[in-house]
Amino acid sequence: MIDLEIPKKFVPLVKQAGSMADEVFRPVSRKYDLAEHTYPAELDLVSALIDGMTDSGASNGAGAAGSTRAKDGTDQAPASTDADEATGVTKPASGKKAGKGNKNGANMSSALSIMQTCRGDVGLTLSIPRQGLGNAAIAAVANDEQKERYGNRWAAMAITEPDTGSDSGNIRTTATKDGDEYVLNGEKIFVTSGERAELVVVWATLDRSLGKKAIKSFVVERSNPGLKLVRLEHKLGIRASDTAAFVLEDCRVPANDLLGDPEIRTEGGFGGAMQTFDNTRPLVAAMAVGLTRACLDFTRTALEKAGHGQDWDAPVAAQTYASARLVQMEADYESALLLTLRAAWMADNGKPNSMEASMAKAKAGRTCVNVALQCVELVGVDGYAESELLEKWARDAKILDIFEGTQQIQLLVVARRLLGLTSGQLK
């Protein structure tokens, strides 16, 4: 069972992340929302702090770079996976045992810290050096040598293509073996931190005719001449975070920069690639949970000032309309929080969590959007004007329901798991 109190070893981490949100992120949040594409210099100090905590062991791997999957009850090394072709469920590879007992490790600490920093600003959280989603991808599937080599570098993740949105199994970017190198050709869009990162984890297919079974991920140096920055996107929200579009033209990558197993295994299918999502989707859910918390706290304070304080002992029907809606939103928040904690806990304990990760992402993403917009309505002028951050939070919320797989894709994944159907049987 999950102990729903924050583990004692994570209490200092959560407090520090909360202080970072309140004292560092919120004061500059509007500044970098207006100065889109400008690198937040304040993050250099934040990054140094995280590095120091990681080196000391105090953070237990907090942040995207630390999230990985437990092989057993004693560490968080990533286990390779076999995908069950009948159900699409990702399970521990042969000979690997799921975690014993109850372990709270790097995935839980990452989720808890991200919830706090996203109370301050989602875009700034995404912009912290060496804490990109590409780092989580490396942690999920890289071998020990690769993790050592890439460990202290900032990595973005490039999945989405112009004709391939959430259908990652239909990736068109190709990787052709040429001696000791792979040659990558294709186009990637909506790459978070693509301009600022030192590395880009690019998803490509070794053989289009084999579909998702042949999809692998490659670590590409940002300075690689074959990786060409096309543009930076102007966005609705998370403007502090740069979002890039790239073209790969005969981009040559050393063979040892292919993450994980280079073999195309028909029985393994998409397992290695999907394990990346199993790690990153709970982190995106945690972002949504943190932003939801910020919206609710602001709205409760505003309602109390207006004389609509909450009476938690009174039934919903006996409260004002505004207070009743706030109670309902709090219930949705708690649901999203618990689903997120469960998905992170399962990863820490070596349990297959593909369905739970999608459940958390779907619930938290949709809850964040709904709560943010309802809070804007309840607060009125202060919710719509730039005088308060609630207006910005409402814009930031939408991306959390989209990236790392849209709401619709998450529900499709959950349905396949529940019904025991493959992607070919349920589209």
Q: What percent of the chain has pLDDT over 70?
A: 85
Flag whether 358 is in a domain: yes
pLDDT at res. 261: 80
Task: Read off the amino acid at residue 242.
Answer: D
Nearest to 286 by CA among 17, 9, 3: 17
Residue 346: both structure tokens together: 């399962």
Q: Is residue 131 part of a domain?
A: no
- Whether 107 has a pLDDT exceeding 80, the answer reads yes
Catalytic residue among 161, 356, 391, 404: 404
Is 90 exceeded by the pLDDT of residue 36? yes
Contact 59, 110 (CB under 8 A): no
Query: Is residue 283 in some structural domain?
Result: yes
360 in any annotated domain? yes
| pLDDT tens figures, 176-233 | 999 999 999 999 999 999 999 999 999 999 999 888 888 999 999 999 999 999 999 9
pTM score of the predicted model: 0.88
Query: Is the pLDDT at 307 greater than 90, yes or no?
Result: no
pLDDT of 379 higher than 70: yes
What does the buried/exposed string (b/e) look like for 359-391 if buried means 16 or more CB atoms within 10 Å of the residue's CB?
Answer: bbbbbbbbbbbbbbebbbebbeebbeeeebbbb
Q: How many domains does the chain have?
A: 1
pLDDT score for 55: 61
| pLDDT of 266 higher than 90 | no
Q: Name the more confident of 50 and 53.
A: 50
Higher pLDDT, 265 or 286: 286
Q: Which domain holds residue 330?
A: 271-419
**pLDDT at residue 94, as a whole number:** 34
What pLDDT shows up at residue 59? 54
Average pLDDT, integer, range 99-120: 89
Provide the terminal-to-terminal Cα distance of the chain, rounded to the nearest Å. 34
* Structure-model confidence comparison of residues 234 and 72, the more confident one: 234
- 198 among known catalytic residues: no
The rounded distance, in Å, linking the Cα atoms of 38 and 417 is 42
Q: Is a pLDDT exceeding 90 seen at residue 267?
A: no
For residue 74, pLDDT over 50 is answered with no
Residue with the larger pLDDT of the pair 421 and 48? 421
Q: Examine the pLDDT at 96 and tell me if it is beyond 90.
A: no
| pLDDT (average), residues 42-59 | 73
Task: Determine contact, residues 238/181, Cβ cutoff 8 Å.
Answer: no
Q: Is residue 329 part of a domain?
A: yes
- Per-residue pLDDT at 60 exceeds 90: no
- Which pLDDT score, from 0 to 100, does residue 58 have? 56
Residues 198, 201, 202, 208, Cα dihedral to 10°: 160
Q: For residue 210, what pLDDT is reported?
A: 86
Domain CATH code at residue 277: 1.20.140.10
227 within a domain of the structure (yes/no) = no
Least Cα distance to 165 among 189, 135, 200 occurs for 189
Average pLDDT over residues 268-287: 79
CB atoms within 10 A of CB 170: 15
The per-residue pLDDT for 88 is: 32
pLDDT score of 279? 87
Q: What is the pLDDT of residue 121?
A: 98
Residue 392 lies inside a defined structural domain of this protein? yes
Is 107 inside a domain boundary? Answer: no
Report pLDDT digits (tens) over 399-408: 999 998 899 9
Please provide the average confidence, as pLDDT, over all residues in the chain. 86
Handedness of CA 149, 152, 154, 159 (dihedral sign): positive
Which residues, 6 or more positions from 214, have their beta carbon under 8 angstroms from its beta carbon?
205, 206, 207, 208, 264
Q: What's the pLDDT band for 68 if we cut at 50, 70, 90?
A: low
Reported as a single tens digit per residue, the pLDDT across 328-337 is 999 999 999 9
3-state secondary structure the chain: CCCCCCCHHHHHHHHHHHHHHHHHHHHHHHHHHHCCCCCCCCHHHHHHHHHHHHHHCCCCCCCHHHCCCCCCCCCCCCCCEEECCCCCCEEECCCCCCCCCCCCCHHHHHHHHHHHHHHHCHHHHHCCCCCCHHHHHHHHHCCHHHHHHHCCCCEEEECCECCECCCHHHCCCEEEEECCEEEEEEEEEEEECCCCCCEEEEEEECCHHHHHHHEEEEEEECCCCCEEEEEECCCCCCCCCCEEEEEEEEEEEEHHHECCCCCCCCCCCCHHHHHHHHHHHHHHHHHHHHHHHHHHHHHHHHHHHCCCCCCCCCCHHHCCHHHHHHHHHHHHHHHHHHHHHHHHHHHHCCCCCHHHHHHHHHHHHHHHHHHHHHHHHHHCHHHHCCCCCHHHHHHHHHHHHCCCCCHHHHHHHHHHHHHCCCCCCCC
